[in-house]
Structure 1
Amino acid sequence: MRIVTWLITNAIALAVATWLVDGIYFDGPTSGMAEIKHKLLPLLLVALVLGIVSAWVKPILKFVAFPFILLTFGLLLLVINAAMLGLTAWILGPTEIGFHVDGFWAAVLGGIIISIVGWALDRVWPETAS
């Protein structure tokens, strides 16, 4: 059950980022039920890939960049979050999922939004005992 709540939390945070940031988007319809039907499965798949990338690559980057993270008072973590979002879009680029991140600043803003929304949902969503 915990993986389901984790996936839904990531998907909601990613959906908010795509809604708020012009440079992060999915191909397809842009409004109504057609948008929801067309983008629900791709949103869940992107959330899954983003979670896997963040679980495997992010700790390595944080370890390697630790001195620079200290020097920048943690601001480099924003760049690392942006890199995870960009890497996810790059990995999914050859697929027909249609997820795009246009540019560094869109990735930075998207990473900030995903982090904040994910944190807020973790605080609100009740933990399951499974």
Structure 2
Amino acid sequence: MNFLIRLLITAIVAFGLSYLLPGIQMDSFVTAIILAIVLAILNTLIKPLLVLLTLPITIITLGIFLLVINALIILLADKLVDGFHTDGFWTALLFSIVLSVTTSLITSMSTKD
């Protein structure tokens, strides 16, 4: 149940960001839900492999390179999800940062134990 709530929060935030950030286009809320599911799958399957392969550069940059990996995951989702489009790497980087921070804040506020 917690996973479904996190997916819904991610979809709502991503849909809102499509209106706020220039360079992000999303057709509908259904597209945002599909994007949230695709991002969850990519973050589970692809991201750990990318982190492992880029571990030396991640260590040298003190973890900043993980932002680049997040942007690459967003760009990959752009290719996989019809109805979602980013204008380029820098837009994807900004989108991934704002999406991660906002989703984390909302999730932490909503799951007080």
TM over 0.5: yes
TM-score when normalising by structure 1: 0.79
Give the 5 Å matches for 1:68-87: 68-87=57-76
Of 26, 34, 42, which aligns to 2:31?
42
Structure 1 residue aligned with 2:46: 57
Deviations 1:26-80, CA, capped at 9 Å, x for gaps: 14xxxxxxxxxxx121111111111111111111111111111111121111110
**Separation (CA, whole Å) in 1 of partners of 2:69 and 2:112:** 27
Which structure ranks higher in relative contact order (CA pairs < 8 Å, sequence separation ≥ 6)?
1
Answering whether residue 107 of structure 2 is matched by residue 118 of structure 1, we say no
Question: Percentage identity across aligned positions?
Answer: 32
**Whole-angstrom distance in 2 between the partners of 1:73 and 1:17:** 28
Find out whether 1:8 has 2:8 as its counterpart. yes
Supply the distance in 1 between the matched residues of 2:39 and 2:69 (Cα, whole angstroms).
13
> What one-letter code is carried by the residue in structure 1 that aligns with 2:84?
F
Residue 84 of structure 2 is matched in structure 1 by 99
User: How far did residue 18 of structure 1 move?
Assistant: 1.6
Residues 7, 37 of structure 2: 8 Å contact kept: yes
**How far off is 1:127 after superposition?**
6.3
Partners of 1:60 and 1:13 in 2: CA distance: 26
Structure 2 unaligned blocks of 5 or more = none
Change (3 A) 1:16 1:71: farther
Q: When the two structures are superposed, what TM-score results if normalisation uses the length of structure 2?
A: 0.90
2-side partners of 1:66 and 1:118: how far apart? 25
Q: Which protein is bigger by CA-based radius of gyration?
A: 1
Q: Residue 102 of structure 1: CA displacement?
A: 1.0
